[in-house]
Structure 1
Amino acid sequence: MVRNLYYLLSFFLICPLLMHAQPNHNKKVVGYYAQWAIYARDFNVNKIDGNKLTHLMYAFFGTEFDPANPQNAKIKSLDTYADFEHTEGGAPWNATPKGNFYDLMQLKQAYPHLKILISIGGWTKSQDLPGIAASPVARTAFAQNMASFLTTYPFIDGFDIDWEFPIIGGIDGTEVIGGITPPAQPHTPNDHKNLVYLLKEMRLAMPNKIISIAAGNNVVHVPNQFIGPGNKAQFGMQDDITTYCDFITFFGYDLGGNWYDKTCYNAPLYGSGNTNDPLNTNNESLDHLTNIYLNTLAIPNDKLVMGIPFYGKIFNSVANNGTIPSLPGLFVAAPRTTGSCVNPQAPQGTWDNAFCEFTGSVEFCDLAGNSGTTGHHFLNPSNSSSVLPASTSAGWVRYWDNTAKVPYLYNATTHQFVTYDDKVSIDEKAKYIKQRNLGGAMIWELSQDTRPGSPEPAALLGQINTTFSTNVNPPATVNVAVVFKDNANTPISGVTTVLTKAGTTTSVTQVSDANGNVQFPNTATNSGYVITYTKNSYNFTPQTTTIANGSLSANTTFSITGSNQTNPTYAISGSVKNGTTGLSGITITLTGNGTSTTTTTNSSGSYSFTNVTAGQNYTV
């Protein structure tokens, strides 16, 4: 109690003297600060530019959990020296605590608006979360321990669960980090449900504190990893992550990387549509990922916070200049090498100095500054959107991909490629956040930005703040009209018409009126679309209409011809095989339209039902 009183008195006495400005916009700016940044990175908490942040995530705390004693589940410090002991930030010798926590308290006093959360888990320390979340006893104990922690440290405003990842994914047990191989991330079939139950216990234990989670970036797995309002019924749930979270951030990075052995982007805002792009198969882009969270999971826009990286990745042995003449080095082979290591190694990144532990991660403080144990100082510190003259002489060129809305660096002499974000791409992403009415931006990680004392300190964080504080014009819109007529030029009413944004599930449905007209007003011009149309007993030419990205510049009308098929009939055919061998004599039944018809497969395993009436549902 004495310690708590000391914190509170210190806060109220010092706060008015040190109070600084806060962001002048209504978006969340959530910055992660890595506990280990005090070491080689030499970036202490007191270097954080708190007037450009709304939330600070302190990463990471771990867990204590023994399945035999679930009542003892609790959070724990992963580095007590960094958290509670060092004095680099100016802590007096007799302060309790010292370390980053003392510095966090001072930061809170200087920026009272700033909400500070402790982030639990991370890439290497999420292994206990499935077990804790699966146990009602452990969930309760864990949440109560969090609440007790906040009583001890009242300048902390809540907790962030960074579980990497529920259901599938995460560290696989082969990665060597600091000479140690962390165990693989375990999973249970109910991880996604148990996460909701854990958040519920946290809310019960901390009803007035902030709770958030960091969700994943896998466009294929996300709909089955996290439960939102849009998919909770699918999993038999009454509640979801939005019931208990104040906001949800998602990883807007590591979509592409060295593991593909092919150059690609770390965090493209939009998909390339290029068949040579390894991210193209699943349309891995921030836009697609955002649409999954908004449409499939139905996370409310203002609760969804998009992740933005302050780092990129470097590729070596880039095979050639690529297949796009204007974008050399993009989407081409860049094989890693194993050498004497067990696993293939990425090139050396900014802080990579341990043999067989290369990440290939290149931070912006390295590109536009002089940080790092392995330098990649290619950009002009005074104008980080340009390349230094010395780098230009060495063969480095900056390219801008106007489709993906990200830059990259390529050196045709050294065969190296760097994907990264700069102020231009950060501006594009911040504008996108405003245009989509998202809750804000999340940053990994603050020490990766340009440093105090540089010509452009906190360049990327400053760009987010600038863009959020500026009126961003929404995308230009036009009216898209479709007119349906038959071969006699007679209007066709009742045609169900769907306008779908290309590469997404975002769509608008209209039905043609008595004059055969459909209107799609306020259609944004910064995307492509596909228009589909259906009506029983009608065929349409063309069958679908495709609008290329960027082709809408004015109001547009499409004329579609429909032909009436009076009671048209069709054939339903198929085959039954064991592998490649057709199975004969298999009984096949077609049920629908109030009747049931039976046939058998022929010697090649094929069957067919003819004279099938259109416009009905059938079961084979």
Structure 2
Amino acid sequence: MERSREAESAVEPVIMAYYVPERNFEPEKIPVEKLTHIIYSFTNVIDGEMKFRVPEAAGPKLKALVEQKKRNPDLKVMIACGGWGADGFSDMALTAQSREKFIESASKFIKEYRLDGMDMDWEYPGISGAGTKARKEDTQNFTALMKGLREMLDRFETPKLLTFASAGWKRYYDHVEMEEVMKYADYTNVMTYDQVSGVSIYTGHHTPLGEIRSKDIEGTPFHTYLDSLYQSGATTDPHPRSAQKIVDFLIKEGVAPKQIVIGSAFYGRVWQGVRPENNGLYQKSGGIHIGWMPYHQIRKSYEPDPDFERYWDDVAKAPYMYNAADSLMISYDDTVSVSKKTEYVKEKGLGGIMFWELGNDTKEEGSLLDAIYKAVH
């Protein structure tokens, strides 16, 4: 059948939620009316096939999620394969035979659960993430895998979506043939979060929208650190990462704006032992960051706490909070920053916005999803 690419026909930006079933899984309470897509996370590559690790637990939850299309018939329910630390991709994609085995399993999976498509979350082709196997051949094999998945999905009677999660930093794209891959994908879901990662001893914006230049952070410990990496040749880029920066890069590389979906973080990253200079931003912490925190906990515990002061960085177009009493700094997305990201998507003509992940949002009024939905509409 002839496939019409969804990205080319979408009138409004997509609102795409990654979703990990919550402990108190109540599918009827998921706000599907405010979503265009929901991506159930995750399946894994197991024995070369796409499977749930515990199908007896996950399978019924996915089926219950699909049933929620009764509340929003336009909702696309998809399945994600992979995630951070998920292995098996390089071996699975290595040969035409191994790819076909996986593709056939994906086809059966989509039929069984009556899904609208799938999201490939290989972190990362050609680059080991969290100790996953990587080969130089991954680059071409990823292209071949996406081509095979596209051909399989096109054999269904109804249109099926193919998306993939991509990194918010440039080195990833040295290992992916974007021009070829985007012939087969409807969207690339760019993970524009963890831009300052969980292994950083320096504070910074982990999910900024606005482009930040080296000169914007001069005089800070973070600038000294980045500059030392650049001067030593450990990195070829002296500037911090951001959504705007990677979007401009991808468009320059030839990716159609309508196929780019940027990410929002429904969680924050917290550092301790942070000195008060610059209200804790771009400072050295007392060690590796102490953890991540779902937005609903930030809303409940941090936003009303008088010891925490919220600051807005107009360059990064991102909020952060600092607690001088406990020397805590938190980088996160709030309702203001996700609204600005959504407005940017509309102004730039991008495909839409996605987020990791829906279960981290507050159930109260004025949620992050509410802010995104209002900005779209």
Q: TM-score scaled by structure 1?
A: 0.54
Secondary structure in 2 matching 1:259: coil
**CA distance in structure 1 between the aligned counterparts of 2:111 and 2:11, rounded to whole angstroms:** 31
Which of residues 292, 298, 309 in structure 2 aligns to 1:367? 298
Q: Does 1:75 align with 2:31?
A: no
Residue in 1 aligned with 2:235? none
Q: Does 1:58 align with 2:17?
A: no
Which of residues 273, 289, 295 in structure 1 aligns to 2:252? 295
Residue in 2 aligned with 1:225? 175
Q: Does 1:448 align with 2:356?
A: no
Q: Give the Å deviation of 1:253.
A: 0.0
**Deviation per residue, 1:79-98 (Å, 9 max, x gap):** 324313xxxxxxxxxxxxxx
Contact 2:16–2:38 under 8 Å retained in 1 = yes
Q: Does 1:463 align with 2:375?
A: no
Which of residues 124, 139, 158 in structure 2 aligns to 1:165? 124
Q: Give the Å deviation of 1:258.
A: 4.4
How well do the aligned residues superpose, as a CA RMSD in angstroms?
1.8
Contact 1:311–1:362 under 8 Å retained in 2 = yes
Q: Does 1:186 align with 2:133?
A: yes
**CA distance in structure 1 between the aligned counterparts of 2:46 and 2:128, rounded to whole angstroms:** 22
Question: How do residues 294-333 of structure 1 correspond to structure 2 at under 5 angstroms?
Answer: 294-296=251-253, 298-318=254-274, 320-322=275-277, 327-333=278-284
Residue in 1 aligned with 2:163? 212
Contact 2:20–2:40 under 8 Å retained in 1 = yes
Contact 2:168–2:242 under 8 Å retained in 1 = no
AA aligned opposite 1:268: P
Cα distance change, pair 200–257 in 1 and its aligned pair in 2 (3 A): closer
**CA distance in structure 2 between the aligned counterparts of 1:122 and 1:74, rounded to whole angstroms:** 15
Q: Give the Å deviation of 1:194.
A: 0.9
Contact 1:257–1:263 under 8 Å retained in 2 = no
Secondary structure in 1 matching 2:273: coil
Which of residues 73, 93, 98 in structure 2 aligns to 1:133? 93
**CA distance in structure 2 between the aligned counterparts of 1:204 and 1:196, rounded to whole angstroms:** 12
Residue in 2 aligned with 1:607? none
AA aligned opposite 1:116: V
Which of residues 63, 67, 72 in structure 2 aligns to 1:106? 67
**CA distance in structure 1 between the aligned counterparts of 2:107 and 2:80, rounded to whole angstroms:** 14
Secondary structure in 2 matching 1:397: strand
Q: Does 1:265 align with 2:205?
A: yes
Residue in 2 aligned with 1:252? 192
**Deviation per residue, 1:557-604 (Å, 9 max, x gap):** xxxxxxxxxxxxxxxxxxxxxxxxxxxxxxxxxxxxxxxxxxxxxxxx
Residue in 2 aligned with 1:241? 181
Which of residues 346, 355, 359 in structure 1 aligns to 2:289? 346
Cα distance change, pair 467–149 in 1 and its aligned pair in 2 (3 A): same
Contact 1:257–1:265 under 8 Å retained in 2 = no
- The size of the alignment, in residue pairs, is 347
AA aligned opposite 2:350: L
Contact 1:262–1:335 under 8 Å retained in 2 = no
**CA distance in structure 2 between the aligned counterparts of 1:415 and 1:25, rounded to whole angstroms:** 46
Q: Give the Å deviation of 1:124.
A: 2.4
Contact 1:27–1:468 under 8 Å retained in 2 = yes
AA aligned opposite 2:294: E
Which of residues 377, 385, 407 in structure 1 aligns to 2:319? 407
Q: Hey, which bits of structure 1, 4+ residues long, moved more than 4 A?
A: none
Structure with greater strand share of residues? 1
Which of residues 121, 135, 147 in structure 2 aligns to 1:200? 147
**CA distance in structure 2 between the aligned counterparts of 1:244 and 1:259, rounded to whole angstroms:** 34
**CA distance in structure 2 between the aligned counterparts of 1:222 and 1:442, rounded to whole angstroms:** 19
AA aligned opposite 1:215: S
**CA distance in structure 1 between the aligned counterparts of 2:181 and 2:198, rounded to whole angstroms:** 32
**Deviation per residue, 1:501-539 (Å, 9 max, x gap):** xxxxxxxxxxxxxxxxxxxxxxxxxxxxxxxxxxxxxxx
AA aligned opposite 2:41: A
Secondary structure in 2 matching 1:368: helix
**CA distance in structure 1 between the aligned counterparts of 2:369 and 2:116, rounded to whole angstroms:** 22
Secondary structure in 1 matching 2:177: coil
Question: How do residues 428-577 of structure 1 correspond to structure 2 at under 5 angstroms?
Answer: 428-451=340-363, 454-456=364-366, 459-469=367-377
Q: Give the Å deviation of 1:401.
A: 0.9
- Structure 2: give runs of 5+ residues left out of the alignment: 1-9, 228-237
Structure 1 or 2, whichever has the larger Rg, is: 1
- Structure 1: give runs of 5+ residues left out of the alignment: 1-23, 66-72, 85-98, 172-183, 230-239, 337-344, 348-359, 370-376, 380-387, 470-620
**CA distance in structure 2 between the aligned counterparts of 1:440 and 1:135, rounded to whole angstroms:** 34
AA aligned opposite 1:246: D
Q: Does 1:146 align with 2:106?
A: yes
Cα distance change, pair 32–258 in 1 and its aligned pair in 2 (3 A): closer
**CA distance in structure 1 between the aligned counterparts of 2:356 and 2:63, rounded to whole angstroms:** 22
**CA distance in structure 2 between the aligned counterparts of 1:466 and 1:191, rounded to whole angstroms:** 40
Structure with greater helix share of residues? 2
Contact 1:258–1:314 under 8 Å retained in 2 = no
Which of residues 81, 95, 116 in structure 1 aligns to 2:77? 116
Cα distance change, pair 122–245 in 1 and its aligned pair in 2 (3 A): same
**CA distance in structure 2 between the aligned counterparts of 1:170 and 1:44, rounded to whole angstroms:** 33
Cα distance change, pair 195–432 in 1 and its aligned pair in 2 (3 A): same
Secondary structure in 2 matching 1:120: strand
Q: Give the Å deviation of 1:416.
A: 0.7
Contact 1:215–1:226 under 8 Å retained in 2 = no
Tell me the percent identity: 27
Higher relative CO (Cα under 8 Å, sequence separation at least 6) belongs to 2
**CA distance in structure 2 between the aligned counterparts of 1:147 and 1:406, rounded to whole angstroms:** 40
Cα distance change, pair 314–295 in 1 and its aligned pair in 2 (3 A): same
Contact 2:33–2:71 under 8 Å retained in 1 = no
